[in-house]
Amino acid sequence: MKGKSRLGSQLLVGSLLILAGLALLLENQDVIDVGPIWRYWPLLVVGFGIAKLFRADTREEQGSGLWIFIIGLWFLVSVLRLWDLSFHETWPAVFIAFGVSMLWKSLPPMSSHDTEEGNAHGQ
The total of structural domains in the chain comes to: 2
Q: How far apart are CA 23 and CA 38, in angstroms?
A: 9
Q: How far apart are CA 34 and CA 78, in angstroms?
A: 19
Instruction: Specify if 1 maps to a domain.
Output: yes
Q: Report the first-to-last Cα separation within the chain, whole angstroms.
A: 31
Instruction: Specify if 114 maps to a domain.
Output: no
Q: Which 3 state secondary structure label does DSSP give 41?
A: coil
23's CB contacts (< 8 A; 6+ apart) are 32, 34, 38
Q: Could you report the per-residue pLDDT of 35-72, keeping only the tens digit for each?
A: 777 788 788 888 888 888 888 888 778 878 888 888 88
**Residue 112: pLDDT band with limits 50, 70, 90:** low
**Residue 110: pLDDT band with limits 50, 70, 90:** low
Report pTM.
Answer: 0.59
**Residue 1: pLDDT band with limits 50, 70, 90:** very low
Instruction: Specify if 115 maps to a domain.
Output: no
How many CB atoms are closer than 10 A to CB 73?
Answer: 18
Instruction: Specify if 72 maps to a domain.
Output: yes
Q: Which residue range is the domain that position 89 belongs to? A: 36-107
